[in-house]
Structure 1
Amino acid sequence: MGELTRRRFVGAAAGVAGAAALTSLLPATAAVAAEPAGAAGAWTEERSGNGWPLLEAPETFGVEGSDQKVRLAGGDAAVVLLHVARRFHYEIGELRAGEIHGWTADRRVAQEYESNYLSGTAIAIRPLSYPAGARDGLYPNELVVVRDILAELDGVVSWGGDLTPVKESHFEIAVKPGHPRLKGVARKIEGWRRGPGDEGAGATDAFDPARREKARAFARRSA
């Protein structure tokens, strides 16, 4: 089938008159329509594709503002990935049960980037809504938020929508352990959370013209 367009598929199936029901239909419809992006194989390395050691005992973290928990590598990686999850929850859509996944012990991966779940350095947000191989699952306003997050994190996080094959639910740490940029971004996030204005997730306007231009410039540099 090749890469899918989730919105186009759902729209064709439901018609314009059914647009009001899309929120409840999208996850199930996209999951049924999507074909596997690659054949699953066992990951045999002791480090994930992004260079982090595989974990046997990840830490469990709550996602701020929600009742959801996710298992991740601790330290700076968790600080950064939890920031992604918080912003998604506050600015794109409320996270419900089963909509965020992190560490797994299952070494079967279809793509190299999926090995990063084994090290606790990747999360999948709404993987049934945005499965591997399905493109254009995010609406334009949601994509603005994602691009703003990526620019804000200065390349420390990669998004599956920019990977091949696409997996728009996927966010991963894109630098190796101890990278100074990771440390700097994590400290910046911690500073936002401790600051008097709580400048982090939930207090950001991704549609501010200056932020949008910065996000566009970052996307051009990263392309």
Structure 2
Amino acid sequence: MTDLDRALADIVEIRSRLALSSTFLGLGPAALAGSGVLAFGVALAQSLLPGTSDPLAYFAAWVATAMASCGLIGGEMLRRAERHHGGLADQMIREAVLHFVPAGVAGAALLAFFARFAPADLWMLPGLWLVLVSLGIFAASRSLPRAMPLAGAWYFVCGFAVLLLAAENHALSPWLMGLPFAIGQLLVASIVHRAGEADNVG
């Protein structure tokens, strides 16, 4: 390895350490709150429209909602990260996203597994998804605002509460999916907003 290669490797290592030790400021409260409002709207639509309790329609709507929310949050994240982190934006985004990738992959894998091998147990998926979101938040909390574990705790408790409630009749309830996500995303948005206000005051 040449001196230039070593120097470049050292720079990459320093950038990585800086990204890991810094608070990620790319999350925007508007997009986070918007994803919560979207979840509430989908739950309301599913509760009013006929046929949406069918597993295919139910989960198709929520997968589409998750993708739309990721696009909404991701678009604002790219814009804010560039403004707040400058040259470290790409590294900060990569570190933040990587914390949530395992939870997202696990959620998709669980949907595929239950749909193929245990369709009668699909009622468990909303609660399990909530638990996975909580684990993603806890994994990323080191680089997020200090109060973010509160949101992780909300999703964790809601996940098991939804499992307990759904276990009574094994029904796919739009509100058992929508309300925890709507309130959880609004809570995350509030935490991010308050953290931003504190930074501005400081």
TM (norm. structure 1) is 0.27
TM (norm. structure 2) is 0.29
Higher strand share: 1
- Relative contact order higher in (CA < 8 Å, ≥ 6 apart): 2
